Structure 1
Amino acid sequence: MSAFRYDHQIPRTAICRPARRADAAPVSTVPRRRSHSWRTTIAVVMAAAIVCLTALLYATGGAPFGPTVSFDGLNSRYAMLIDADSGEAIASRDADARMYPASLTKVMTAVVVLDHADALDAVVEAPADMFPALWEQNASMAGLQPGESATVEDMLYGLMLPSGADCAIALARYVAGDVEAFVEMMNRTAAALGMSGTHFTNPTGLHDADHYSTARDMTTLFAHAMQNDTFRAIAGSRSHTMSSASLHDGDLTVDSTVFEELGTPFVAGGWIVAGKTGYTPEAGLCLATAARFGGRTYILVTAGAPGDHATSQADVDDARYVYGQIPGL
């Protein structure tokens, strides 16, 4: 907050005159100048107001007159909402409890790829030997064929929009040589971001009892990822044609699971600008979103909502419920 300065004109001191005799007849005198105490009083009051406004600023997460949000009506077991501009927490529910992040994991996969890939137009192959295990686990896929290749950028779209595990494994092998080495890079990045409640065992988010995070950590991760221009563009896209996909004649189009579920990105007085879905039976429905309200960005992560993507939109309902409490400006 910029400092305010108050300049005062100090009144000139009244000229001292000899005291009149007690029995002297009253005569008119030049009125004395008023005391400047009223000026001091105003200055004190205004200074106190500044202190109060500053306290309010910090109490509301860095935004004057910031929102008060309740999580009482959430479906999700775990949740965290922050003001991304200030980094301050607005509301939370079991935000430090261990949970399974499911495909929210792919946000970290994208971060590591963007940090370490040689170039966005580098060509990556999806090895044929990785597909049987993914098919067996019923992993979500972007639609690549065994042995197909595409650019790093197109594979990042395939990773984030339809939550393609095929792109996750292909990118991991391209960046690190093998999945195990890539996972080590994921965990090092998590440690560097202060994600002390997180441990990854794979780049896809497929269930593993030792693959876990917290709502707070995933909020930290998504806020970090949103600082990258390429990530923002990808995570905020409704659809993308992977024109470099070698076995699709330039006609492999992937759609965002987030914006498909939302229908419309508009929520109350703002709009959702980016997101990532996740689901496994163990994790429940998970959702990370960024939304803009009155020039500010908020990030919400929810996890552990009941149902699945075929039967429920409890995660989307939670996002609308939370963002509906933030006033638009």
Structure 2
Amino acid sequence: MVRKVKNKNPGMSIFAAFLLMLGMAALVNKSIIMTGYQHIFEKEYDVKTSSYSSLKTTPDSSADRTTSVPPSKIEPAPSVPISPDKLNSPNAILIRLKDHTTLMQKKSEEKIYPASLTKMMTTIVAIENLPNMKEEIKLTNSTFQKLYGADASMAGFQPGEQVRAIDLLLGVMLPSGAECCIGLADQIAGSEHNLVKLMNQKAADLGMKNTHFENATGLHNIKHYTTVKDLAILLSYALQNDTFREIFTSSRHSTQPTNKNPGGITFYSTMFEELNNQNIIGGEILGGKTGYTDEAGLCLASLAKVGKQEYILISAGAKGDHHSEQYNITDALAVYNSIRNTIRSS
């Protein structure tokens, strides 16, 4: 005969049920947070050569939460005067950062090779997985082995050098140092291969549906691809992180002294170097990341402030190389100036 055991402490049962409900609510909330960016730019309508997003999000300081604005309350953004057909870049997308409204796009969902624009993902994943920005990371001989002969851009560090994590992050984004990418990968994930897994997982979490990474540097690989639309989702997300934004908008940086460079190294942003003191009327290009390979063409991800609003522009595939006119920069100046013209005429 089985005896029924009476619950001598009903209060504990109620408390346990309460904890279970809290756990379920937390799981649901996490799911909402991680899928928030998947809905950016999903609803669009066409007007002449431009398309506009009808779903906006309002970011907060947590850098990973979004609040959807009901579509019925959304007003379409004004078109920009410049036609996408006049751009040198075959692929481009312009986003108003405040509400993620797409102001202009050109083959934004066509597959591209991102070249060093890849390093935006490398950087944000590294930031989110580094417990201490001041920790020293040793760059080993193996860090450099696969980069020799690959025509990878380098920041100037040496094998055996001990470098602060923050200096490596700035080395990734400003001079586009491939050795900095590998050093961070080894420290965070044990290898570049393992860091790439984290990068692809982050892309999936953000809803970058047409993106796949094969490396952390952007060196050409036929299986390493994305779209300018996906890169806009990435940059919109990453700019909400204060450390990423500070790095992205830096024009130069001097590292701390190291065992190999007692005087430190001074980095200069490749974008600001190519910009060569040019800027936009009534606004400012705040920061950016360039990219180039023979297969990818001239690429650029940039952030600008025009009037009271911030905008991001992603462009890819422009003809030319490091020795030609920088058509990615030319396109950025033309697009951002066209926004100013729209504001002045409205």
Query: TM-score, length-normalised on structure 1?
Result: 0.79
Aligned mate of 1:203, from 204, 213, 216: 216
Residues 71-220 of structure 1 mapped to structure 2, 5 A cutoff: 71-220=84-233
2:136 and 2:163 in contact (8 A); partners too: yes
**1:252 aligned partner, one-letter code:** I
Residues 1-329 of structure 1 mapped to structure 2, 5 A cutoff: 58-60=75-77, 67-264=80-277, 266-327=279-340
- Cα deviation, 1:50-97, whole Å, max 9, x if unaligned, reads xxxx9896211xxxx674552121111110001110111111011000
2:239 and 2:245 in contact (8 A); partners too: yes
- Cα deviation, 1:254-278, whole Å, max 9, x if unaligned, reads 1100000012262122111110000
**2:97 aligned partner, one-letter code:** A
Whole-angstrom distance in 2 between the partners of 1:197 and 1:245: 40
Paired residues, number: 272
- Cα deviation, 1:97-145, whole Å, max 9, x if unaligned, reads 0000000000000000111111100111111123232121110000001
2:147 and 2:179 in contact (8 A); partners too: yes
Whole-angstrom distance in 2 between the partners of 1:55 and 1:270: 31
Whole-angstrom distance in 1 between the partners of 2:206 and 2:82: 26
1:241 and 1:250 in contact (8 A); partners too: no
1:78 and 1:93 in contact (8 A); partners too: yes
- Cα deviation, 1:300-325, whole Å, max 9, x if unaligned, reads 00000001122221110010111110
Change (3 A) 1:70 1:57: farther
Whole-angstrom distance in 2 between the partners of 1:208 and 1:66: 36
1:265 and 1:273 in contact (8 A); partners too: no
2:253 and 2:267 in contact (8 A); partners too: yes
> Which ranges of structure 2 fall in alignment gaps of 5 or more residues?
1-70
Q: What is the CA-CA distance between 1:235 and the residue it aligns to?
A: 1.2
Moved more, 259-268 or 170-179: 259-268
Moved more, 151-160 or 124-133: 124-133
Whole-angstrom distance in 2 between the partners of 1:133 and 1:84: 37
SS at match of 1:136: coil
> Which ranges of structure 1 fall in alignment gaps of 5 or more residues?
1-53
RMSD: 1.7
SS at match of 1:324: helix
Query: TM-score, length-normalised on structure 2?
Result: 0.76
Instruction: Give the share of equivalent positions with the same residue, in percent.
Output: 43
2:279 and 2:333 in contact (8 A); partners too: no
Whole-angstrom distance in 2 between the partners of 1:194 and 1:103: 21
Whole-angstrom distance in 2 between the partners of 1:57 and 1:323: 23
